[in-house]
Amino acid sequence: MNMMLMKRFRFFTGMVACVCVPLVVSSCATSPEGRSQLRLLPEDQINSMGEQSFEEIKQQTAESKDAKKRAYIECIANAIIPQLDQDNNPALWEVRVFADDQANAFALPGNKIGVYEGLLKYAVNQHQVAAVMGHELAHVIAQHGNERVSDQLAAQAGIAIAAIALGTSDTSDSNKKMILAGLGLGVQYGVILPFSRTHESEADLIGLDLMAESGFDPKESVKLWENMSKAGGQPPEFLSTHPSSTTRIKDLNARMPRALEAYYRAQKQNKKPNCHL
């Protein structure tokens, strides 16, 4: 390496050290299950990407015309949302039922929930729908989208470039694609991308707690898995598994005593959702 290159190299590594060390230190976070995560994106950026994506999905997919289904899904969401954290109020959330036959649902940062009518073929009562919604909301509260984008940025481009990319106020097309993929959405909306095995397992457990704390029967989550694993065709996001159904059912059952305690506690607090079609 000649002197000129050496100087440039030192300048570059120096810049990396000052730009990135504080960034990395401040970006190490812990998931609700105690797993350490890299989260590089500011929360407001992730939220606004979630909001934008939801608007675009709404433009591409019609809302369900079935008022009973809409009221049913809203009733279930209204029972779960207040359990997310103290400040959560269902009025701050947008819940939409889409007229589409796929057995799917999603939640996005920025307080958005989408449920496709087709899900109701497999989630046959309020408890089973709550199991799916709890799972999807768990991806959001555990910030899996942010983590996935951060891991990709760190792996593909290196921390220095990640810092530069995130320092710009407008989001370039390639950043946008990466963020959308991180949120679980394909470039073509309607394609919901699978999360990793780690994220799926974590969402299953957090989701189980959430449904139980909301007053839904956590044992129904296992029945839902059994219904879902019989689903043919393209697997729904909820089933976008790397973990096999049997592993997931085993993990849910291992957590069941704790979830049942939360469920009985909720019952005593008179949290008894009564949502039906």
Active site residues: 136
Select from 71-79, 151-159, 192-200, 254-262 the region that touches Zn ion (CB under 5 A).
192-200
- List the alpha helices (DSSP H) in 61-170: 67-80, 126-141, 144-156, 158-167
* 210-249 positions binding Zn ion, by CB under 5 A: none
**Alpha-carbon distances, residue 36 vs 40, 81, 147, 266 (angstroms):** 13, 25, 10, 30
* 32-71 positions binding Zn ion, by CB under 5 A: none
Rounded Cα–Cα distance for residues 166 and 227 (Å): 42
Residue 147 or 200: which CB sits closer to Zn ion?
Answer: 200
Check: CB of residue 113 under 8 Å from CB of residue 186: no
| Nearest-approach distance from CB 4 to Zn ion, in angstroms | 51
Report the largest interatomic distance among the alpha carbons of the chain, rounded to a whole angstrom.
Answer: 75
| Nearest-approach distance from CB 53 to Zn ion, in angstroms | 16
| Nearest-approach distance from CB 146 to Zn ion, in angstroms | 15
Instruction: Compute the 3-state secondary structure of the chain and give helix, strand, coil in percent, each to the nearest 5.
Output: 60, 10, 30
Residue 89 or 244: which CB sits closer to Zn ion?
Answer: 244
The site that binds Zn ion (CB under 5 A) totals a number of residues, namely 3
| Nearest-approach distance from CB 102 to Zn ion, in angstroms | 15
Helix, strand, or coil here: 61?
coil
Residue 115 or 203: which CB sits closer to Zn ion?
Answer: 203
Select from 7-15, 160-168, 189-197, 247-255 the region that touches Zn ion (CB under 5 A).
189-197
- How many helices and strands, by DSSP H and E, does the chain display? 10, 5
Select from 16-24, 152-160, 202-210, 253-261 the region that touches Zn ion (CB under 5 A).
202-210
Residue 49 or 107: which CB sits closer to Zn ion?
Answer: 107
Rounded Cα–Cα distance for residues 225 and 167 (Å): 42
Q: What order do you get walking across the sheet with 105-108 strand by strand? A: 94-98, 112-116, 105-108
* 155-174 positions binding Zn ion, by CB under 5 A: none
Residue 195 or 216: which CB sits closer to Zn ion?
Answer: 195
Residue 38 or 142: which CB sits closer to Zn ion?
Answer: 142
Check: CB of residue 118 under 8 Å from CB of residue 65: no
**Alpha-carbon distances, residue 21 vs 153, 159, 160, 219, 273 (angstroms):** 15, 9, 10, 45, 48
Check: CB of residue 39 under 8 Å from CB of residue 29: yes
| Nearest-approach distance from CB 273 to Zn ion, in angstroms | 22
Cα dihedral 252, 85, 153, 185 in deg (nearest 10): 70
Select from 9-17, 93-101, 197-205, 214-222 the region that touches Zn ion (CB under 5 A).
197-205
| Nearest-approach distance from CB 263 to Zn ion, in angstroms | 22
* Site residues (vs Zn ion, CB under 5 A): 195, 200, 203
